[in-house]
Amino acid sequence: MKLNRIAAALFSVGMIGAAQAQVSDDVVKIGVLTDLSGVYSDLAGNGSVIAARLAAEEMGNKVLGKPVEVVSADHQNKPDVAANLAREWFDQGKVDMITDFPTASTALAVMEIAKQKNRVTMPSAGLSTAILGEKCSPLNAQWTTNTYALAAGTARALVKEGKKSWYFITADYTFGHSLEKDGTEVIQENGGNVVGVSRHPFPGNDFSSFLLKAQASKADVIALANAGNDTVNAVKQANEFGINKKQIVAPLLTYISDVHSMGLAKAQGMYLTEAFYWDYDDASRAWAQKFFEKAKKMPTASQAGVYSATLSYLKAIEAAGTDDAPAVMAKLREMTINDPVIRNGKLRADGALVHDMLLLQVKTPKESKAPWDYYNVKSVLKGEDVFPKPQAACSLNKT
């Protein structure tokens, strides 16, 4: 009997050693490919790097007995720069997974390379639904949200309030086009119509001509299909022209960093749909406080998504006993994601993480009781009600 126990113990030790040996290069390396200096640096940037490191620290900076490292780089919102950095990371830097990707075009550029190199991508800020279409990858997870889910919550709420006619001011690149397309679909499905569109260069500074065209259209809602500083500048200029007194200005992607930049006096009353709000419940508040201690500001949904993606990836490696990309993705698809950021999350075959979202309304200055106390939670939106259906264009949906 004693010999049997010794044999069992030796077998157990051997199995642990075998699991540890399944980590490539004896290190699990996370790459945060982000905008460190440009228009999206506030909503992603160094905050995303902090978020990834918080996830690694939560795992003790180890998985399967091997060290976890986080590296970062500035892709400058350029697909070619992102692709070159990713190749270098995969070929020379031993990077296993890349996350963040402000601008969907950078995510799409890297996803194909990652598939060729057998590595994982987990966009948190790359939101175009094109990522889930013909460019979908079995090794990709669009972690936080996408343009359809963002549009679905906000557009449905406003159309139901009787705001039927819409005018789009759209950033003229992949993300803006996707948000406009998905927003239009939701508006029309709910009985509204789009009366006009203006497309502005990315990034943009002067929105006066676009806003005046939107004002002249007399649309009930002026929808902003842009993000970051573009959204902030457009809202501020709409206030200067007094447009918001007669028409609703509705940014379809608004981060808490944007509202912080606008100020509650200009942003008050706006509806928005978000994947995460720091003050939603005890779990979100506790994690956000850890982030605040390092970043000196509250996390955006994109930054929080990097934390959730990194933590879930590391947990999937632990469950799979290996960092082999297909095995890790298989585990991610088996898991239900519940953490301080994502609630009731399930990863689909096409790479969409379907989870509950929040419909929020910006508080008035009088309603706000403390710094970063910016939103009233109007409702919790079930993932299956706001995320897009699987696209036929994605071959993974046919298997």
Convert the pLDDT of each residue in 272-324 to its tens digit.
Answer: 999 999 999 999 999 999 999 999 999 999 999 999 999 999 999 999 999 99
Please write the tens of the pLDDT for every residue from 356-369.
999 999 999 999 99
11 has pLDDT over 90: no
**pLDDT confidence bin for 399, thresholds 50/70/90:** low
Q: Which domain holds residue 180?
A: 148-274+359-385
Show the CA angle centred on residue 304, arms to residues 136 and 157, nearest 5°: 75
Within a domain: residue 192?
yes
Quote the strand ranges of 183-332, DSSP E: 193-200, 221-225, 248-251, 271-274
CA-closest candidate to residue 278, choices 358, 178, 347: 358
Asked whether residue 53 falls in the same domain as residue 194, the answer is no
pLDDT for 174: 87
Do 133 and 153 reside in the same domain of the chain?
no
Q: Has residue 20 been placed in a domain? A: no
Do both 258 and 285 map to the same domain?
Answer: no
Does residue 8 fall inside a structural domain? no
The answer to whether residues 265 and 160 belong to one domain is yes
CA distance to 8, 231, 254, per residue, from 187 (Å): 63, 20, 18
Looking at the structure, do residues 129 and 154 belong to the same domain, yes or no? no
Domain-located, residue 396:
no
Position 16 pLDDT exceeds 80: no
* 112-163 per-position pLDDT tens digit: 999 999 999 999 999 999 999 999 999 999 999 999 999 898 999 899 999 9
Angle at 263 between CA 229 and CA 301, to 5 degrees: 60
Clarify whether residues 270 and 286 are in a common domain: no
Same structural domain, 247 and 372: yes
Whether residue 222 sits in one domain with residue 365: yes
Check whether residue 169 and residue 222 sit in a common domain: yes
Categorize the per-residue pLDDT at 8 as very low, low, confident or very high, splitting at 50, 70 and 90.
very low
What is the residue whose two structure tokens read 């999937």? Answer: 316
Overall number of domains in the chain: 2
What Å distances lie between residue 361 and 151, 198, 277, 367, CA to CA?
14, 26, 11, 12
pLDDT in tens, 248-270: 999 999 999 999 999 999 999 88
The CATH number for 153's domain is: 3.40.50.2300
3 state SS for 182-209: HHHHHHHHCCCEEEEEEEECCCCCCCHH
**Domain-embedded: residue 236:** yes
Binned at pLDDT 50, 70 and 90, residue 47 comes out as very high
pTM of the model: 0.90
Same domain, 246 and 374: yes
173 found inside a domain: yes
Residues 100 and 219 in one domain: no
Residues 243, 211: Cα–Cα separation, whole Å? 8
CA distance 391 to 133: 6
- 213 with 244, same domain? yes
Residue, of 17 and 196, whose pLDDT is higher = 196
